[in-house]
């Protein structure tokens, strides 16, 4: 079995594959300080709860945008789970050619999403990830990472509202019954969700226009992506496991060589 690990700014998402089948997923917060032993034991326990033993894991791949926790996390994985985890980074084979001005600036999370989107749905494809930030990454028909757009994510925007204004409360992020809000909570929800929908539709439209790609597929992923994907025809597919699938695909490409 293959353990894939996606370290994001908010959560660490784990997935276990049996060949190409995703058999379980689990998460833990990435901002909570942990020792290598705490990481290792927690992962072992979560695997055990899902009837997976250490000896069942015969491969591991990790992608991370949070450098500060990687020493402890990798040490925990090596000690308790799998001795030779693969890291998404320089030198790894992805099948995607980055043609932006500075390829080294493209985060591993975006490369993984691009691989998942291109390998699963073909190109040209625009991959949206509604995470801590909302990202839009364009992959051409030939598998070239051609452009990327980065915007504040829904949670960042919501947090700014209630932390930087004295009288606005912390709220649940969800679509209200109507945009015609008549009280504070639904007013904030309307601004956040409908604002994100509007942003999403405009950016997709502008990418199509400037890239000249009318046939471009639009694929969304990320924790809050379902809320937006359900409310717009601009997104063709919502794929909740796209990032984990991208990690599996990259692992397979490197294992074969």
109 as an active site residue: the answer is yes
pLDDT reported for residue 166: 83
Three-class secondary structure of residue 13 per DSSP? strand
What are the tens digits of pLDDT across the range 185-244?
Answer: 999 999 999 999 999 999 999 999 999 999 999 999 998 899 999 999 999 999 999 999
pLDDT number for residue 256: 62
Per-residue pLDDT of the chain (257 residues; tens, 9 = 90+): 999 999 999 999 999 999 999 999 999 999 899 999 999 999 999 999 999 999 999 999 999 999 999 999 999 999 999 999 999 998 899 999 999 988 888 999 999 999 999 999 999 999 999 998 999 999 999 999 999 999 999 999 999 999 988 888 988 899 999 999 999 999 999 999 999 999 999 999 999 999 999 999 999 999 889 999 999 999 999 999 999 999 999 999 998 65
Q: Where are the alpha helices (DSSP H) in 15-128?
A: 36-49, 70-80, 108-121
- How does strand 133-139 pair with strand 11-18? unpaired
Nearest CA-CA partner of 87 in 97, 74, 96:
74
Q: Give pLDDT, residue 102.
A: 87
Q: Measure CA of the first residue to CA of the last residue in the chain; give whole Å.
A: 19
Separation CA 257–CA 60 (nearest Å): 16
Phi, psi of 79 (to 5 degrees): -75, -35
Residue 28 confidence (pLDDT): 96
Catalytic residue among 37, 51, 109, 137: 109
pTM of the model: 0.93
Per-residue pLDDT at 104: 86
The DSSP symbol for 168 reads: P
Asked if 191 and 218 count as a contact pair (C-beta separation under 8 A), the reply is no
Tell me the C-alpha distance between 64 and 7, whole Å: 4
Q: Whose structure tokens read 């000690």?
A: 79
Instruction: For residue 199, count CB atoms less than 10 angstroms from its CB and return exposed for 0-12, middle for 13-18, buried for 19 or more.
Output: middle
Per-residue pLDDT at 247: 98
Burial of 177 (0-12, 13-18, 19+ CB in 10 A): exposed
Dig out the tokens for 49 from the structure: 């709860």
CB 222 within 8 A of CB 228: no
Classify each residue of 122-137 as buried b or exposed e, where b means 16 or more C-beta atoms within 10 Å of its C-beta: ebbbbbbbbbbbbbbb
């Amino acid at each position: 079995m293959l353990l894939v690990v996606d370290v994001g700014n908010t959560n660490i998402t784990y997935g276990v594959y049996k060949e190409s089948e995703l058999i379980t997923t689990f998460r833990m917060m990435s901002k909570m300080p942990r020792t290598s032993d705490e990481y290792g034991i927690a992962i072992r326990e979560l695997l055990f709860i899902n009837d997976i033993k250490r000896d069942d894991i015969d491969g591991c791949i990790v992608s991370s945008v949070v450098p500060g926790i990687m020493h402890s996390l990798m040490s925990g994985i090596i000690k308790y789970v799998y001795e030779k985890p693969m890291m998404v980074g320089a030198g790894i084979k992805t099948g995607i050619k980055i043609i932006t001005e500075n390829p080294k600036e493209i985060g591993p999370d975006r490369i993984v999403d691009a691989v998942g989107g291109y390998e699963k749905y073909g190109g040209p494809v625009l991959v949206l990830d509604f995470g801590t930030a909302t990202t839009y990454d364009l992959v051409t028909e030939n598998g070239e990472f051609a452009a990327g757009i980065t915007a504040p994510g829904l949670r960042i925007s919501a947090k700014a509202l209630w932390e930087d204004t004295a009288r606005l409360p912390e709220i649940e992020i969800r679509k209200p019954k109507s945009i015609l809000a008549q009280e504070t909570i639904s007013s904030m929800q309307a601004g956040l969700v409908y604002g994100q929908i509007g942003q999403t539709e405009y950016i997709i439209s502008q990418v199509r226009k400037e890239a000249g790609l009318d046939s471009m597929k639009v694929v969304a992923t990320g924790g809050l992506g379902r809320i937006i994907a359900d409310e717009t025809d601009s997104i063709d597919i919502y794929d909740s496991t796209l990032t984990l699938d991208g990690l599996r695909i990259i692992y397979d490409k490197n294992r074969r060589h």
